[in-house]
């Protein structure tokens, strides 16, 4: 009887979803019919589709929203008649934790379970185990993996972000050593100073009479792109010029669309597996656009390198090391260069907006940064390895901003051994979402958690909280761009604060676009000092 109710509910839901798709004009009728047919077939065999066995039974003991056969429960929250929108995913997680406690289960299509955690001890167990692992497992982005498999002309594997095991290890050890080396990063400092100066000029150029800069987020993304190209290609590409290059606009749109489409395909209903949904089409369009645009610059840099060589030897190291990596196909080297550049645009742009927002709202902290910068580097001197290392308060402000507004609010992992979390048994092979951001806002972990208090990072706090504030992830799968981004942020923030008093009217709104993102446009005030 219970099964019959579930099947009926499933069939009714199918019809509602089909109705939704029918309302989208560019979705072909044939796909709708195919969808309906497949759903009816699935409903008929629904009992055999139910995930059974000790693995699923163990995970089903974890509380979570009510789920129905076949569809699970996730869609109920984010579909067009559910209470949440995918762009507010961060808010829905807050509510779900309030409803179910520190651990809860979601079910995706075919009742595939995903476990969400935020308890400090649980996070330390899961991320600590992952940090000790030789080949840590992070669930791949299924849709990107699927698309890349269909393009053997461009990729021989899924790429560093989505590969696992031996192939991931080979890519990681061959393609990223220079990127993660502190010594190599420090050689970029002189060039980073120039990039930061150009960024300040761009801010001045875009300032209105009252010193406000509208759409600052767009400028911040341009800074991310210019510095990522400088790092990866070893040359400046001029994205901080005063006139907006139409290519830049196209690339910025493609990067944003790629994140949004990843969110919709990853967190929404996975109908892209049955037919090309609008989100899937958007994803491949943006993947192609990013590949085509960045590819042009990579090919130019390759040609430069053959013409021995207009590249500056100090900053070309990363590019050369990737090109010379042994045992890696040239398609994958090119794919990695493109992925690395794309990875540095919006992640950096969002992070810079968040740090500036927080110091704009905390002017005492901002003045402390200013005094420290003048003290360690004077009013005009370049930032060097030594003086930037001495800017401890600047570092603390960045750390505190990672705690309060991280661009990556959760870390995903697949468990490699059985674990006990909050009293529940978690078998090996379970997919976990570690909600580090939610944990960072918990008073139990950080007193006055909602307040911006950089002073808390001037003691021993960093090590104690290493699995709570981990904006770049943990262990061997940690972001290879971490070292560079931290340096870039310090130089950029220090040079902005040295030149301007930063202000912000109102409150910054947030959206979830796979990354935590400021709602665009963001308007800041940059008053010259």
* Residues flagged as binding site for heme: 479
Closest separation in Å from C-beta 471 to ligand HEM: 5
Decide whether 5 or 132 has the Cβ nearer to ligand HEM: 132
CA nearest 516: which of 108, 93, 145?
93
CA nearest 529: which of 482, 495, 505?
495
CA nearest 360: which of 493, 462, 491?
493
Could you tell me which residues are annotated as the binding site? 479
330 burial (CB, 10 Å; 0-12 / 13-18 / 19+) is exposed
Closest separation in Å from C-beta 486 to ligand HEM: 9
Instruction: Please compute, for residue 98, the number of CA atoms within 13 A of its CA located in the half-sphere on the CB side.
Output: 6
Supply the DSSP symbol for 381. P
Decide whether 42 or 328 has the Cβ nearer to ligand HEM: 328
Peptide bond into 309 cis (omega under 30): yes
Decide whether 144 or 351 has the Cβ nearer to ligand HEM: 351
User: What are the Cα distances from residue 168, in Å, to 35, 80, 240?
Assistant: 35, 37, 34
Q: Distance between CA 334 and CA 151 in Å, rounded? A: 14
Decide whether 272 or 484 has the Cβ nearer to ligand HEM: 484
Q: Residues 256, 521: contact at Cβ < 8 Å?
A: no
Closest separation in Å from C-beta 20 to ligand HEM: 32
Closest separation in Å from C-beta 51 to ligand HEM: 26
Closest separation in Å from C-beta 228 to ligand HEM: 6
Decide whether 69 or 467 has the Cβ nearer to ligand HEM: 467
Q: Which residues form the interface with ligand HEM (CB under 6 A)?
A: 138, 160-161, 172, 179, 228, 339-340, 343-344, 347-348, 351, 407-408, 411, 471-474, 477-481, 484-485
Decide whether 64 or 344 has the Cβ nearer to ligand HEM: 344
Decide whether 62 or 175 has the Cβ nearer to ligand HEM: 175
Closest separation in Å from C-beta 172 to ligand HEM: 5
CA angle (268, 269, 275) in 5-degree steps: 120
Decide whether 203 or 343 has the Cβ nearer to ligand HEM: 343
Closest separation in Å from C-beta 481 to ligand HEM: 2
- Straight-line distance from the first to the last Cα atom of the chain, in angstroms, rounded to the nearest whole number: 74
Query: In this structure, what token pair is assigned to residue 358?
Result: 């927080």
Contacts of residues 183-188 at CB distance under 8 Å and 24 or more positions apart, as own/partner, are: 184/317, 184/318, 185/483, 185/484, 185/487, 186/385, 186/487, 187/314, 187/315, 187/317, 188/230, 188/231, 188/314, 188/315, 188/484, 188/487
The residue whose two tokens read 């509602």 is 16
Q: Distance between CA 54 and CA 86 in Å, rounded? A: 32
Beta strand pairing status for 113-117 and 431-434? parallel
């Amino acid at each position: 009887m219970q099964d019959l109710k579930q099947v009926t509910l499933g069939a009714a839901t199918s019809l509602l979803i089909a109705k939704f798709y029918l309302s989208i004009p560019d979705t072909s009728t044939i796909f709708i019919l195919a969808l309906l047919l497949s759903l009816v077939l699935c409903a008929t065999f629904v009992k055999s589709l139910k995930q059974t066995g000790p693995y699923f039974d163990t995970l089903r003991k974890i509380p979570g929203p009510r789920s129905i056969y076949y569809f699970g429960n996730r869609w109920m929250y984010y579909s067009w008649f559910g209470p949440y929108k995918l762009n507010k995913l961060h808010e829905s997680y807050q509510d779900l934790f309030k409803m179910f406690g520190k651990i809860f289960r979601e079910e995706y299509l075919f009742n595939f379970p995903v476990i969400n955690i935020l308890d400090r001890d649980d996070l330390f167990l899961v991320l600590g185990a992952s940090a000790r692992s030789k080949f840590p497992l992070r669930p791949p982005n299924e849709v990107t993996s699927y698309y890349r498999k269909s393009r053997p002309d461009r990729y021989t594997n899924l790429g560093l972000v989505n590969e696992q095991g031996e192939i991931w290890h080979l890519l990681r050890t061959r393609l990223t050593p220079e990127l993660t080396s502190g010594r190599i990063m420090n050689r970029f400092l002189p060039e980073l100073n120039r990039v930061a100066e150009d960024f300040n000029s761009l801010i001045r150029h875009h300032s209105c009479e009252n010193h406000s800069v509208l759409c600052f987020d767009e400028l911040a993304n341009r800074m991310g792109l210019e510095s990522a190209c400088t790092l990866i290609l070893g040359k400046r590409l001029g994205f901080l010029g005063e006139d907006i290059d139409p290519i830049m606009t196209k690339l910025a749109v493609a990067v944003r669309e790629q994140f949004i489409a990843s969110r919709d395909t990853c967190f929404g209903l996975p109908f892209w597996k049955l037919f090309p949904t609008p989100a899937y089409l958007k994803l491949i369009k943006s993947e192609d656009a990013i590949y085509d645009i960045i590819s042009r610059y990579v090919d130019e840099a390759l040609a430069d390198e053959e013409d021995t060589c207009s590249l500056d030897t100090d900053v070309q190291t990363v590019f050369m090391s990737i090109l010379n990596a042994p045992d890696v196909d040239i398609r994958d080297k090119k794919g990695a260069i493109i992925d690395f550049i794309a990875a540095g645009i919006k992640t950096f742009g969002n992070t810079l907006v968040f740090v500036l927002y927080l110091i704009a709202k905390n002017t005492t902290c901002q003045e402390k940064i200013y005094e420290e910068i003048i003290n360690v580097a004077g009013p005009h001197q370049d930032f060097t390895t030594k003086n930037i290392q001495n800017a401890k308060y600047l570092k603390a402000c960045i750390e505190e901003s990672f705690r309060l507004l991280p661009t990556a609010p959760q870390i995903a992992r697949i468990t490699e051994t059985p674990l006990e979390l909050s009293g529940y048994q978690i078998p090996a092979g379970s997919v976990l979402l570690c909600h580090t951001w939610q944990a960072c806002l918990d008073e139990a972990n950080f007193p006055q958690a909602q307040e911006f208090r950089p002073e808390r990072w001037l003691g021993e706090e960093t090590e104690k909280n290493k699995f709570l504030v981990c904006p770049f992830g943990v262990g061997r799968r940690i972001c290879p761009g971490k070292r560079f981004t931290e340096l870039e942020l310090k130089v950029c923030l220090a040079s902005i604060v040295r030149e301007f008093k930063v202000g912000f009217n109102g409150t910054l709104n947030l959206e979830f676009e796979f990354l935590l993102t400021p709602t665009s446009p963001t308007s800041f005030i940059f008053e010259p000092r």
